[in-house]
Amino acid sequence: MSTTGLREYLDGPHKAARDLVRDGLAANADLLDAGLELSRAEYRDKVLAVMQQVTAEGHTGRGFPKEFGGQGDLGGFIAGFETLAFGDLSLMVKAGVQFGLFAGAILHLGTSRHHDEYLTDAIEGRLLGCFAMTETGHGSNVQALGTTATYDPATEEFVVHTPTAAARKDYIGNAARHGRMATVFAQLVVGGESHGVHCLLVPIRTPDGEPLPGVTLSDCGAKLGLNGVDNGRIVFDQVRVPRTALLDRYAQVDAEGTYSSEIENPDRRFFTMLGTLVQGRVSVGGAAINASKVALTIAIRYADRRRQFGAPGSADEALLLDYRMHQRRLLPLLARTYALHFAQAELVDEFVRLFGGEDVIDKDEHDQRALEAQAAGTKALGTWHATETIQMCREACGGAGYLAENRLATLKADTDVFTTFEGDNTVLLQLVAKGLLTNYRESFGKLDPLGTARFIAAQAVEIAVEKTALRTVVERLRDVVPNRNDTSDPDAGLRDDAYHCGMLRFREQHMLAGVARRLKRGIDDGVEAFEVFNRCQDHVIAAGRAHVERVVLEAFLAAVQAAPEGTARERLKELYDLHALATIEADRAWYIEHGRLSGPRSKAITALVNELCAAVRPYAGELVDAFGVPGAAVDVPMVVPSQHE
């Protein structure tokens, strides 16, 4: 398979959507330099202008229903959004706020009344909006938001208010300059009773751009990156909106002030509402992986033409990519990028299956929770990977990589926040581990440590049973994993798929069983529930990460096995082996501690990783070419030969 064939395999079923966005980015290549050349206000307006042009070409409406001007292609919409990460990331984030969050909230949380009145204008970019969830005092803990929306039956209005400084809406995209309306998440108070967090549509500016009465808007100012996005702060002072402003798909308030919902359990209702917005988390993870592709394309192309030192007496200096350490720096990251690409593709397929059609209430709750956990874990690993990869690419390009003209500096700054927006990664891995520990039981309750620990206290017997079952799984896995006394042939089976999967499954299940034992022991000893959970939170996070790394590995293996026979599959298999063994090598101390890796076998893994780096090196350029990053994004001065060379 040629580079073109491999690119088509990577692009998958949404190649057409990706190519349309690639073409749009190429046509607006000047945006890549706008952040360096324009003032912040001019840069923001430039980003808005390009977003509206992309909107006019129909890219951003692809995932919305046809009756509102969309194309009903949710998978293509997410693929296109991910591809925006090949260009200016402020454009991608602004589009995500407008179409994924603001319009997405109207679509998923509203009803036909809201759809008919607002959705087409939002999709076509005429109604610019904000997604006002995060507050100064609360980001990850959405259930504890401080903003209130109190129903006044005398006027049939909700009164939206910011009661404390901590309840100020903070870091809200589109709020500082362009937004006219916000989807505001607030504690809904009806008849003196709080019904938890709900979402309302609240106008914040006049058509002329002036703040509406009772609304105070301010600018977050300069940020580390993404300065083409106008992040701002919003304070509400007794702002009144009509009863119909409540996005009431899952809960309604009638004119007399009677609250009702088809979902009786308030926790389930809350998580159902938030679950419909998981698309943002799915999309950010994919965008981060694509940003990694841009950095690797630049760094590997640079390493394949930049020379330094060489063999004594040789007239030619050696290419950077021919050095073992340079291969070690870049090629395992390239392999992991491929692995995450295929894991992301699996996630998007599952998301489209669940959310591409019928009502969320009617879906299998276990499938929804599993998807949310998979999205959380993939987003966490994908965004951490982007941070690590872009930094390593910058270092691998030396001083040239530090120059803004070569794009790595901007990539580094713009992607840094990905690890904390759409969910802090550490909190997300806790969500993953919680799902593994409880098998997504509805009675688990809140995501916070106290709610987690209380459930465990109430279910101690079940956890003991669960622990025994997990131990049985671990014992079965030992059959495919060598112990520390197996030193007769340390090289045996190192490229065996069953060995790779067995090692990662063993680690996941061992960590999970260990967490369950520690939690139960603490509860049995009478330790306060919050303290029990807090003591082993690091263990919980490690178990969550181990699970996601196993899922990513198996997604990569499945993609290799599904690839057309021939050169492409062989090359993907080498990349898979490199990724699998580099993953085991990175945690070899844990495997040695737990008797799953001998000293000689650990050394053999390191030697084989080196060999695989050397094997991948000759076609590393083809592997990054297959990403299909538009030329303007990667044809930077340090990789384009000058006329003097």
pLDDT digits (tens, 9 = 90+) for 571-590: 999 999 999 999 999 999 99
| pLDDT mean over 500-529 | 90
Residue 51 contacts residue 178 (beta carbons within 8 Å): no
Q: Is the whole-model pTM more than 0.75?
A: yes
pLDDT digits (tens, 9 = 90+) for 378-389: 999 999 999 999
Instruction: Classify 631 in phi/psi space as left (phi over 0), alpha (psi -120 to 50) or beta.
Output: alpha
What's CA 242's distance to the chain center, in Å? 35
Q: Is the pLDDT confidence value at 468 over 60?
A: no
Percent of the chain with pLDDT over 70: 90
Residue 339 contacts residue 366 (beta carbons within 8 Å): no
Residue 284 contacts residue 379 (beta carbons within 8 Å): yes
Structural element, H or E, at residue 608: helix 599-616
pLDDT digits (tens, 9 = 90+) for 403-433: 999 999 999 999 999 999 888 999 999 989 9
Give the Cα separation of 503 and 494 in Å (integer): 11
| pLDDT mean over 143-164 | 97
Q: Is the pLDDT confidence value at 360 over 60?
A: no
Query: Which pLDDT score is estimated for 439?
Result: 54
Q: Is the pLDDT confidence value at 540 over 70?
A: yes
Query: Which pLDDT score is estimated for 378?
Result: 97
Long-range interactions of 208-217: CB distance < 8 A, separation 24+: 212/239, 213/239, 214/238, 214/239, 214/240, 215/239, 217/175, 217/176
Cβ of 521: how many Cβ atoms within 10 Å? Answer: 13
Query: Which pLDDT score is estimated for 357?
Result: 63
| pLDDT mean over 492-505 | 95
pLDDT digits (tens, 9 = 90+) for 32-44: 999 999 999 999 9
Span of 125-139, 192-206, 235-249, 426-440 with lowest mean pLDDT:
426-440
Give the Cα separation of 441 and 460 in Å (integer): 14
| pLDDT mean over 493-514 | 94
Q: Is the pLDDT confidence value at 155 over 60?
A: yes
Q: How many residues does the chain have?
A: 645
pLDDT digits (tens, 9 = 90+) for 329-357: 999 999 999 999 999 999 999 999 888 76
Query: Which pLDDT score is estimated for 313?
Result: 73
Give the Cα separation of 350 and 344 in Å (integer): 10
Query: Which pLDDT score is estimated for 151?
Result: 98
Q: Is the pLDDT confidence value at 277 over 90?
A: no
Query: Which pLDDT score is estimated for 366?
Result: 77
Domains and CATH numbers, the chain: 3-123 (1.10.540.10), 130-264 (2.40.110.10), 457-619 (1.20.140.10)
What's CA 293's distance to the chain center, in Å? 15
What's CA 26's distance to the chain center, in Å? 25
Query: Which pLDDT score is estimated for 195?
Result: 96
